[in-house]
Chains A and B, each alone.
Chain A
Amino acid sequence: MLAAEEDLANRVAQLAEKRGLTVYQTVNDILEQALRAEGQGLNLKEALDRRGDMERAHEMGLTFTVEHLYYQVVDAAYGRDKEKVRDLWRDMGFWYGKYFKGKGGEPVKDLTDALAFMTHGSQFTAEKGKGDELTVSCINERYTRGYTEVFATFIEAAFQVLGYSTVENEASRGIIRIRLARR
């Protein structure tokens, strides 16, 4: 027997009713899932907090790929036609900028969150500076020269749509630092 506060017990009972199960079955199912997560070394709270990541990625037109393969593809294309690849990333940046602008909410924050999500494993920051300035940095030792340059172009273009112009753009292999100011 588990002594639970009345409110919690009632909510569990409501959940059971919604699922068309008994309270006992519902408690059993929930605890089984929790133990399964524990057995896999997963943190339940974090699993829940991050549950939407996959859906979010799908909604934003993102896909998962093997990192080193992606860099090889980008570098092969970049080596062949830099301008064309830069244009492609600029267009994608504009697209994402418009996507977040059109979605409402807080476009700058949403774009920053999306960039943080896309650059997981890198050191990504977006810091407000003096006045309306914003400095976006991304450091990842695995980024190739070609990828660093096109990704910097992508970031710059996305923020341009949200009303920022570039004050400074430093991109060298593995390091991106873009200083932006609101127009």
Chain B
Amino acid sequence: MTKKQPEDTKLLVLPGVLVDRLKETSNKRGTSLSGYAIEVLEEALRAEKLGATLGDAVDAYRMREIHRGAGAMVVPRSSLGELVKDLKKSHAEDFGKLWEAAGRWYGRYLLGKLGVEEVLPFLRQDLLTSWNLDDVEITDGDEATLRFTGFMMSEEFTDLLVNYAHGLMESLGYREVERDSLRGMATIKYMRVKKG
């Protein structure tokens, strides 16, 4: 695949299907195609040294940027847990509504940002990360199911997430038809709302 060239260079074969896109991107950046490709390869090798792949790094960074754009902040997990637990009796209904509204807003934001095709696949990883869950499954289609598990998740957080998911899925065009939840896990079924 690599051919020895004079002056300590080797030729790497570039995939033909990518060349036009690479040209377009390098032109936009004001660099040559080879300059751009070499820069990318160097970054990929750096990623490897850091124990990551370029794809993983891009996905993680993209999620961070989406969270940032949605007004998410980083807080000590214990602080939120303690406070929500403490306020549960007096504020349960208010918090439920607030989290539902936040989920609805976030769903709309994701639709605008990612487009309908990408939202559900993105959400799986997003919920895993931002709610510190151990497992998330989302099945797509006219009948969708969201199933999540968080072994260390409190009852209060579980309720908040269920409310959040309710708002979120509603804004993506799904109506909740069945809910089964207990501390740290829930299975929620949805039907796609037909337009018109």
Q: Is the CB of B41 within 8 A of A47?
A: no
Give the interface SS of chain A, mostly helix, strand, loop or mixed: helix
Give the interface SS of chain B, mostly helix, strand, loop or mixed: helix
Q: Is A141's CB within 8 Å of the partner chain B?
A: no
Q: Is the CB of A31 within 8 A of B22?
A: yes
- Residues on the A chain within 8 Å of B45, using CB: 8, 11-12, 15
Instruction: Across the interface, name the chain B residue whose C-beta is closest to A57.
Output: B74
Binds A, one of B78-86, B137-145, B172-180, B186-194: B78-86
Give Cα A88 to B63, complex, Å: 30
Q: Which of B48, B83, B129 contacts A85, CB < 8 Å?
A: B83
Task: Map CB proximity to B onto A30-47 as digits: 1 under 8 Å, 0 otherwise.
Answer: 111111111010101111
Give Cα A2 to B42, complex, Å: 14
Q: Is the CB of A31 within 8 A of B37?
A: yes
Q: Is B112's CB within 8 Å of the partner chain A?
A: no
- Residues on the A chain within 8 Å of B131, using CB: 63
Q: Is the CB of B58 within 8 A of A69?
A: no
Q: Is the CB of B1 within 8 A of A22?
A: yes
B49-102 residues at the A interface, CB under 8 angstroms: 50, 52-58, 60-65, 67-68, 70-80, 82-84, 86-87, 90-91, 95, 98-99, 102
Q: Is B116's CB within 8 Å of the partner chain A?
A: no
Give Cα A92 to B78, complex, Å: 8
Q: Is the CB of B61 within 8 A of A42?
A: yes
Give Cα A38 to B25, complex, Å: 8
- Residues on the A chain within 8 Å of B91, using CB: 76
22 pairs, A vs B, C-beta closer than 8 Å: A2-B12, A3-B11, A13-B1, A28-B15, A30-B44, A31-B40, A34-B40, A37-B62, A40-B62, A55-B60, A61-B78, A62-B77, A63-B76, A63-B80, A64-B72, A64-B73, A65-B130, A69-B99, A70-B75, A74-B79, A80-B87, A117-B74
Q: Given contact pairs A12-B12, A23-B2, A120-B68, enumerate 4 new A-B contacts (beta carbons under 8 Å).
A: A2-B34, A31-B18, A51-B47, A63-B75
Return the 3 tightest CB-CB contacts between A and B, nearest first.
A47-B61, A9-B10, A51-B57
